[in-house]
Amino acid sequence: ARILLVDYQPPFDADSCEYLQQSLTDFFSLVTHLNGPSRAPLFGLFALGRYPENLFQLQHVKGNFPRLHSALEELRFFSKKITAITNSAEVLLQGLQDAVTQFKRHSQSLRQSCYSSEVCACTCISPTSSMDSGSLGCGLVDTVTLQKDLLCFQNFFKNWLLDCETDQEHIRVVLPNEPGPDKTIVLKCDLHERLISPQFLPYRFKFMTNLTSKASCNTRPCTSSTYPVHNLHISQLIKASAICESVLYGMPYIVRPTVCWKLDWEELEANQQYFYALSRALQERDIVALLQTQCSTNDILPIGHFLLLPSDGGSSMLLKSITASELLLPAEFTQPVEEPQTEALEVISACLDQLEIKETYNPLLVSCDL
């Protein structure tokens, strides 16, 4: 549960307000329409002028986008109707206290405290000693500095969707025992999401190809196929080495030239030659093709993006879904501060030496015990 305070004290200007309003609108237009449990269940909004004004009472956001949108639109016009603020620090402190009071009132109405509470103040002034956690009757107070940039604002709010709990690790990687004493090395790791899964979106069918409808059609007698045909347009060519695996998702599909019986022989032959030529050209240039779904001028549905990757033989290609900016979650790819210690490297090397290195991965030799 979060309450956002927007302080209009200079140098908070029209550009900052526009970036804030746009990033919040984009964020909640996505969050309020996601299926499944809400990652940002409760939200409240205050605008700080001569006094704190509650634009959106702390409440559930899911299915509540129209009211949220109206409150966010008020942010754009709020700066036009306020006069000079002479006691901004006092107003900010009062806004923080009002937010804490609203949290307590909401918890009492539910007779439980099932959500963690967080107050975020968007301000251009430095926090004072009167704004510490003790005077507010709440937990820790943290300061985050943002650049006046739309992407920075968007990433800040998308961080609300990340699981940052540190109660326990997510996975444990067990290495083979090193020679000598019976000592097992277990690496305890946290998992971090890279993108919002399109399966939770209302129009998820626009973000992935699906052969389920084709299979179901083939299980019952019918004279015509009803599964959809996806029109994918090549929009960009990208160096194969520049693709990060973390932005790929979904079910991969092998792509081959069609053998549809409805086409005449000449068309099938020409289509096959063009397919092989495209695969060969992509492979020789070491590039992949970025495809996107075709949308008509009157179509307001989202656009799906895919990668078409060539194969070594050229007889087939691989189609994989790739994320776009709206679904991308912020991530930090930091380099190690220092090189691993020599002792740690020797231990890990000894563990890895217990395993045979395979030249290739053969799934036929690996069982999942179904």
Give the chain's domains with CATH numbers. Answer: 2-160 (3.40.50.410), 171-211+226-327 (2.40.290)
- The confidence band for 285, taking pLDDT boundaries of 50, 70 and 90, is very high
Euclidean distance between the first and the last CA atom of the chain, given in angstroms as a whole number: 42
pLDDT, one tens digit per residue, over 48-80 is: 988 899 999 999 998 899 999 999 999 888 877
Q: What is the pLDDT of residue 251?
A: 87
> How would you classify the pairing of strands 232-239 and 287-293?
antiparallel
Q: What is the pLDDT of residue 221?
A: 47
SS3 188: strand
Q: What is the pLDDT of residue 194?
A: 87
Torsions phi, psi for 53 (to 5 deg): -120, 120
Provide the whole-model pTM.
Answer: 0.79
Mention every residue, 6+ apart, whose C-beta is less than 8 A from residue 29: 65, 69
Task: Let me know: does 76 contact 19? Beta carbons within 8 Å.
Answer: no
pLDDT, one tens digit per residue, over 306-358 is: 999 998 888 899 999 999 999 999 987 766 668 888 998 988 898 899 889 99
Nearest to 74 by CA among 36, 109, 47, 114: 47
pLDDT, one tens digit per residue, over 258-277 is: 998 888 999 999 999 999 99
- Three-state secondary structure of 11-28: CCCHHHHHHHHHHHHHHH
Task: Let me know: does 257 contact 272? Beta carbons within 8 Å.
Answer: yes
Task: Select the more confidently predicted residue: 141 or 211.
Answer: 141
Task: Let me know: does 51 contact 153? Beta carbons within 8 Å.
Answer: no
- The confidence band for 85, taking pLDDT boundaries of 50, 70 and 90, is low
121 CB burial (10 A radius; 0-12, 13-18, 19+)? buried
Per DSSP, 175 falls in state P
243 CB burial (10 A radius; 0-12, 13-18, 19+)? middle
The DSSP bridge partners found for residue 287 are 239
pLDDT, one tens digit per residue, over 110-127 is: 655 556 788 898 988 776
Amino acid, single-letter form, for residue 265: W
C-alpha–C-alpha distance, residues 332 and 323, integer Å: 17
